[in-house]
Amino acid sequence: MHSPSRQAGKNVSSPSKGILTAQASRQGESITPEAPPTFGEAARFWLKLGFIGFGGPTAQIAIMQTELVDRRRWIDGYHFLQALNYCMLLPGPEAMQLATYVGWLLHRIPGGLVAGAFFVIPSIFILLGLSYVYVAFGSLPWIAALFSGLKPAVLAVVANATIRIGGKALRHPAKYTIAAASFVALFFFKIPFPAVIAAAAVERGS
191, 185 contact by CB (below 8 A): yes
Gap between the Cα atoms of 91 and 64, Å rounded:
20
pLDDT of res. 159: 87
Report the predicted TM-score, pTM, of the whole model to 2 decimal places. Answer: 0.75
The mean pLDDT value for 85-96 works out to: 91
Neighbours of 170 (CB within 10 A): 15
| Per-residue confidence (pLDDT) for residue 13, from 0 to 100 | 40
pLDDT for residue 206: 65
| Total Cβ atoms within 10 A of residue 35 | 12
Looking at the predicted structure, is the pLDDT value of residue 17 above 50?
Answer: no
The beta strands (E) that lie in the chain are given as: none
Q: Is the per-residue pLDDT at 37 higher than 80? A: yes
Decide: 81 and 169 in contact? Cβ < 8 Å: yes
Taking residues 139-148, what's their average pLDDT?
85
Residue range 52-71: mean pLDDT, rounded: 90
170: left (phi over 0), alpha (psi -120 to 50) or beta: beta
Judge whether residue 9 has pLDDT over 60: no
Task: Examine the pLDDT at 16 and tell me if it is beyond 70.
Answer: no
More confident residue, 20 or 158: 158
pLDDT value at residue 192: 93
Q: What digits encode the pLDDT tens for the residues 148-191? A: 888 888 888 888 888 888 888 888 888 899 999 999 999 999 99
Does residue 82 or residue 24 have the better pLDDT? 82
Cα(104)–Cα(112) distance, rounded to whole angstroms?
4
Q: What is the mean pLDDT of the chain?
A: 82
Average of per-residue pLDDT across 8-24: 41
Average pLDDT over residues 75-88: 91
d(CA 19, CA 33): 10
